[in-house]
Structure 1
Amino acid sequence: MVSGGRGLPCVAAIWCSVYGAAHVWWLANPGAPWAPPEEVFSPGRWVAVTLAFTAAAVCSVIATGIGHHRAAPVRWTLVVLAWVAGAGLIAYSYMLAISLATMLFGQADHWGSLLTRAAGMTAGALTLACAVAEQRRVRRACPHCARVHGRSPERRTDPAPRWACLAAYAAIAGCAARVSVLVIEFITEGKPLPFALGFSFGVFIVLLILAGTLLPLALVHRFGRIWPRWVAPLAGRDVPRWLVLGPALFVGASMAGYFGVAGMTAWFLGKGNLAQAPVWKVSLEMFGYTVWGLGLLAAAVSYHALTRPDCPSPGPAVPSPKVTVPRAPRTSS
C-alpha cells in the first residue's frame, strides 16, 4: 500500500547508518582488516560517508512523518534529497557489476570490495524505495495500487509513452555504437571477436548484446508485459515484472555509473589507458555505454508504471446524478 508503514524507512536508515559508519572506520583506520580499497576515479571515501548519513537522516525524517500532516514543500524536499542520496550511493557502487563479471570469468575479487559495493548498492536501493513511497504519499496516489487515477496507466495493455520508446531506442543506438567499435577493430586491425576468447566471455557478450537489443524493446512493447503467442505454454499470461525490470535497473545503473561517471571522469582527466586511445573510439565507447544505461533506466520507469498490479478499486467512485422528482401540486379541500 502507498501509505505504507515505518518499517521500510527505518530499515533504510539503519542500513545506511551502518554503511556510513563502516566507511568512517576505514577512513580513521585505513589499514584495518577487510578494509576495501577506495573506488578508482571517485572523489574519496568521504563521499560515501556524506551520502550514507544524508540518506539515513532523510529516511529517519520520513519515518517519523508517516501518518502526520506536513506541508507539501517539506515533503517534496525530503523526496528530492532521498532521490539524490539514493542515486548517489548507487553511482558510488558502480564497480559492483565489474566485481560480479570477474567472478563469472573465474577470477578472484577482493571480497571486502565486493561486499562493500553490494552494501552500497542496497543502501541506495532502499533509499530510493523510501523516496518513491513518500512521493506517492505527496501525490495522493491510490492506496491500493499506487496509481494516480486519471494520470497513470491503468493496465498492462496500455501503450508505453513516447518518451519511454525514445529512451529504449536510444539504448539500442548506444549498444550499436559500442558494438561498432568491435566490428571496426575486427575489420581494420584484425583483432579477434570476443566469441573467440573463450566460452565464458562469449556468453557474457551474448547477454550484453541482448541487454542492448531485446531488453530495451521488452521495456516498451507489449511482448515484454504479456507473453506473445509464440511462447505457447505461457501465451497470454503476464510476464513477471522483475524478470524484465530487474536486469534493466541493474544493467542501466551499472553502465550509467561505471561509464557515465567513472569512465567520463577518467577520460576528461586523461587517466588510465583512455588517453592513448583514439578519440573516435573512446567517444563511441563512453557515450555509447552511457546513453545505453540511461536509456534503460528511463524506459524502466515506464515499465514499472505499466506493470503495476490491477487496482481492486480503480478510481474514485462517481456519484450518481441526483434526480429531482417534481412535487405534486397541492389541492385545496
Structure 2
Amino acid sequence: MIRTSHLIVPSRVSPLSRWPHWVGYATALWSLCYCFLALYWMLARSGFPLGVGDPHPEYSIFRGMPVEVGAPAIALLSGMGTAIAFFMAKRQGRGILPVVYLTFASVIAILLLFMIPDDRVLACIVHVLLGHFEMLDWTVANQLFCIIGGVCWSAMAFSYQRYIRRRCLYCGRRDDEMTKQLQPNLMLQWGKWAVALAVITPLIYCVTRWAFVLGIPLGVSATFLRTMERENPGIWLGGAAIATIGLVGALLTLGLVQRWGEIFPRWMIGLAGKRVPPALAIIPASLVALFVLEAGLGMIRHALNGAFAFAAQNPGTYLPGLLWPVWGLALGTATLAYYYRRREKCQTCGRR
C-alpha cells in the first residue's frame, strides 16, 4: 500500500487552497451524479444530451450516437469512475494500479474537457454576458457540467501523480534540478512569446468581423456579405461584438507579462501600489484558455463535418476561428509561466 506519511493537510490555508485533500471526493461525487443521470437516460429514453438528443449534432463529435449505446456507456464509465476516484482520494493502490488509475483519470479528463464540449459553450457564455439566454439549453448545460467534471478529474490526477512521486501535493515542488531551473527570467521570456500569440490571434478574428460590419468583403465576396446581412439582420454586428469582447480579454492578457499584472496601477483607487493576488489573474485566464481551446477544437470538428462547405469561397468567415486552438494554448502557456514566475515559498513544504 502506498504510504501516506507525507499527506500533510495545512491548517493555515483556506479550504479552496486545500484542494488536494478534498478534490478526489468531489470527483467521486460528480461521477456518481453523472452515473445516475446516465441511468435515467437509459431507462427513460429521454433527455439524452448527446448524439440523437443533440438539437445541433453538426457541432458534436458524437453526432448520430443512439441513446441505447451512449447512455449505458456513460453509466459504465461513470460507475467505474466513482470507485476509482474514491480509491485515489484515499491514496490507495499497489503495483500497477496507480498507473491504471492515472491513465483512466487522464482519459476521462480529456473526454470531458475536449471531446464532449464544443464551441457552443463559449458562444453561450458570451451571449449570456450580453443579456441573451436563448443559447442556454440542456445540451450546453450538460457540456458545462462535463467541464466541471473534467476539471475535477484533472486536478485529482495532478494531486495523485504528485503523491506517488513524493512531491508536495500543494505546489508540486521537489528538491531536484528540474524544479530549480524554473527561474523567473526564463518564465518571463516564455510568457512574452505566449502573450504575443494570445493577442495576435483574436486580433485577426476581430478585424475580419468589424470589416464585415463596415461592409468590407475581407476574405469573402461582396455578394455573400450582403446576402447574409439581408437574411440575418445584425449577424455581423453580433459577431463583431463577440469578437470585441474576446479582444478586450486578449489585451488583458498583457498583464501576465507587465508590471500592472503584479502591482495594481495608480488609477485604481484604494488598490494602487498593492500586490495583485496571483489567483486574480490565474483563475480567469485559465478558464478563458480552456473555453477558447474547446471552441477552437469545436470549430475544427465543425469544418471537418462539412458544415462550412457553403462558405468554401468565403474563407474569411471561418479561417480566423480555426486559429483559436493556438489562442487557447498560447494563453494557457502564458498563464502557466505567470504562475511559476510569481509563486512563492510553499506554506506546506517550505520549498521555494
**TM-score, shorter chain, exceeding 0.5:** yes
The aligned counterpart of 2:145 is: 119
Displacement of 1:311: 2.5
Letter in 2 for 1:79: L
Using a 3 Å threshold, how does the CA distance of structure 1 residues 300 and 74 change in structure 2: closer, same or farther? farther
Which of 101, 110, 124 is the matching residue for 1:99?
124
Using a 3 Å threshold, how does the CA distance of structure 1 residues 162 and 25 change in structure 2: closer, same or farther? farther
The aligned counterpart of 2:13 is: none
Q: Over the residues paired in the alignment, what is the CA RMSD in angstroms?
A: 3.9
Using a 3 Å threshold, how does the CA distance of structure 1 residues 264 and 18 change in structure 2: closer, same or farther? same
Alignment of 1:216-231 (within 5 A): 217-228=254-265, 231=268
Deviations 1:98-125 (A, max 9, x none): 3333333323345533542332121111
Give the Cα–Cα distance (whole angstroms) in 2 for the partners of residues 153 and 296 of structure 1: 24
Instruction: State the aligned residue count.
Output: 306
Give the Cα–Cα distance (whole angstroms) in 2 for the partners of residues 203 and 303 of structure 1: 29
Letter in 2 for 1:226: I
Which of 166, 173, 185 is the matching residue for 2:193?
166
5+ residue gaps, structure 2, are 1-5, 10-19
Letter in 2 for 1:102: H
The aligned counterpart of 2:158 is: 132
Alignment of 1:32-181 (within 5 A): 32=47, 37-38=53-54, 40-43=59-62, 44=65, 46=70, 49=74, 52-53=78-79, 55-66=81-92, 70=94, 74-91=97-114, 92-94=116-118, 95-103=120-128, 104-142=130-168, 145-149=171-175, 151-152=178-179, 160=187, 162-181=189-208
Q: TM-score, normalised by structure 1?
A: 0.73
The aligned counterpart of 2:17 is: none
SS in 1 for 2:90: helix
The aligned counterpart of 1:25 is: 40
Identity %: 20
Displacement of 1:283: 5.6
5+ residue gaps, structure 1, are 317-333
The aligned counterpart of 2:15 is: none
SS in 1 for 2:89: helix
Deviations 1:57-92 (A, max 9, x none): 4423312335x7x45x75355334323322321222
Which of 333, 337, 342 is the matching residue for 1:298?
333
Displacement of 1:12: 0.6
Using a 3 Å threshold, how does the CA distance of structure 1 residues 142 and 10 change in structure 2: closer, same or farther? closer
Give the Cα–Cα distance (whole angstroms) in 2 for the partners of residues 7 and 270 of structure 1: 44
Displacement of 1:292: 0.9
Displacement of 1:9: 0.8
Are 2:286 and 1:263 equivalent residues in the alignment?
no
Bigger Rg, which one: 1
Retained in 2: the 8 A contact 1:252–1:293?
yes
Displacement of 1:289: 1.6
Give the Cα–Cα distance (whole angstroms) in 1 for the partners of residues 49 and 326 of structure 2: 33
SS in 2 for 1:106: coil
SS in 1 for 2:166: coil
Give the Cα–Cα distance (whole angstroms) in 1 for the partners of residues 153 and 124 of structure 2: 23
Give the Cα–Cα distance (whole angstroms) in 2 for the partners of residues 307 and 154 of structure 1: 15
Displacement of 1:161: 5.2
Letter in 2 for 1:84: V
Retained in 1: the 8 A contact 2:109–2:153?
yes
Give the Cα–Cα distance (whole angstroms) in 1 for the partners of residues 169 and 237 of structure 2: 52
Give the Cα–Cα distance (whole angstroms) in 1 for the partners of residues 264 and 340 of structure 2: 18
Give the Cα–Cα distance (whole angstroms) in 1 for the partners of residues 104 and 319 of structure 2: 33
Using a 3 Å threshold, how does the CA distance of structure 1 residues 152 and 143 change in structure 2: closer, same or farther? same
Are 2:296 and 1:278 equivalent residues in the alignment?
no
SS in 1 for 2:323: helix
